[in-house]
Amino acid sequence: MPSCLPNDLTEAAKGYQGISPAMLEAVKVYLLAQIAGLGSSTPDELTALAKCYARISPTMLKGMEVALLCTATGGVPPCPGGGGGGGSVLSGSFSELTLNNGSATGSLDLGAVSSVSNLIINGSGWSSIDLSGLTGGDIQVEANPSLASLDLSSFANGGTVKLGGSTGAGTSNPALANLDLSSFQSASGNVFIQYDAFTSLILDALTSAGGLYATQNPSMATFSAQALTTITNEAIGLNFNPSLASVDLRSFVSFGDPSQSWKTIYLDNCPNLVSVRLDAFIPDNGKDLNASGAKLDVASVDQILARHVANAGYVSGTITLSGGTSAAPTGQGILDKATLIGRGVTVNTN
């Protein structure tokens, strides 16, 4: 990665076929203005740059990728008239894209970026980021204090996905209220969506992930991953969500790695949690389920007990449904609790 010094930019740009020295100079002026945080306060230079873009083909613009990435600002503006038209500041596929400019503000349009193996957007000042064309890759979008909207509506198959709080509150996106992951189907690594500001997290296209962590989101009232069947590596963490009222994991079956020690569903410290759906769950023997301190309704309590009874091999572990104002088991739930205790399982209910 170039160091973003003027000479580096000039040397990098010299290799771009068909771009005149005047064009290179206009690009350099704009990039340096962005680094200095001048932005639109350099109207003459920006006007010259716009004229330059009217004569640069898409192929040539693609060739500027190195210099654009060097600025860590999200690239150059679209040409305001002729040539490039409006729209995304970058397009196509990249092996790595890192945008960490804290002085950047407003909206970042990367809607024409289709693929990035490793995307990092950390510590920026953008309020809105459009990644609606991105279909996959590793993503890290964290520590962006003004980010309110993130469009990942075409994102389908990821590696490791970090959209706030992977290492604590310091890496959160505290204003993130609108997050579109409607096409998200799988992640080979862990998914972290934590310490953010949305009121609901809907991942109903997701079928598998290495681990899934959506903890400490203060306003999240609803979590839904209706198609999720398998966690291949770690755990499901939905704990420490003070507003969480409902969890829908109706298709979740099992944790796929028999050697993994976690293989647990964490639902503790969610004082407003009423409804949990685990219609297909098959618990691993010896693993715990913790939903302490909630206000679970009787249907949720009875179903959790029934799912553990349904696995005849579940003969050890701890199920904690006590504390808070959660309902006591009733009917078949009472019998299922007794069955589990008879097997050697620890069962705590109200």
172-230 pLDDT, tens digit per residue, is 899 999 999 999 999 999 999 999 999 999 999 999 999 999 999 999 999 999 999 99
Res 14 pLDDT > 70: no
Res 238 pLDDT > 50: yes
Average pLDDT, the chain: 80
Can you name the residues that pair with 192 across neighbouring β-strands? 162, 213
- DSSP H helices in the chain: 6-14, 21-35, 43-53, 58-63, 65-71, 298-310, 332-343
Biggest alpha carbon–alpha carbon distance for the chain = 83
The domain locations on the chain are 1-86
d(CA 348, CA 350): 7
Res 308 pLDDT > 70: yes
Confidence of residue 65 (pLDDT cuts 50, 70, 90): very low
Res 166 pLDDT > 90: no
Res 171 pLDDT > 50: yes
Closest by CA position to 175, among listed 217, 121, 134: 217
pLDDT value at residue 21: 54
pLDDT value at residue 7: 39
pLDDT value at residue 100: 75
Confidence of residue 323 (pLDDT cuts 50, 70, 90): very high
pLDDT value at residue 9: 38
pLDDT value at residue 257: 72
Res 235 pLDDT > 80: yes
pLDDT value at residue 1: 33
Tell me which of 25 and 235 has the higher pLDDT: 235
Q: Which pTM does this prediction carry?
A: 0.76
Q: 18-22, 61-65, 156-160: which has the highest mean pLDDT?
A: 156-160
Can you name the residues that pair with 161 across neighbouring β-strands? 139, 191
- Taking residues 296-300, what's their average pLDDT? 98
Confidence of residue 27 (pLDDT cuts 50, 70, 90): low
- The model's pLDDT over 92-108, given as tens digits with 9 standing for 90+, comes to 787 888 887 677 778 88
Res 262 pLDDT > 80: no
Buried b (16+ CB within 10 A) or exposed e, 307-329: bbbeeeebeebebbbbbbebbeb
pLDDT value at residue 168: 84
Confidence of residue 12 (pLDDT cuts 50, 70, 90): very low
Tell me which of 144 and 78 has the higher pLDDT: 144
Q: Which of 18-22, 307-311, 321-325, 340-344 has the lowest mean pLDDT?
A: 18-22
d(CA 340, CA 342): 5
CB 84 within 8 A of CB 78: yes
d(CA 182, CA 179): 9
pLDDT value at residue 17: 39
Find how far residue 34's CA is from the centre of its chain. Answer: 27
Res 61 pLDDT > 50: no
- The model's pLDDT over 112-164, given as tens digits with 9 standing for 90+, comes to 888 889 999 998 888 999 999 999 999 999 999 999 999 999 999 999 999 99
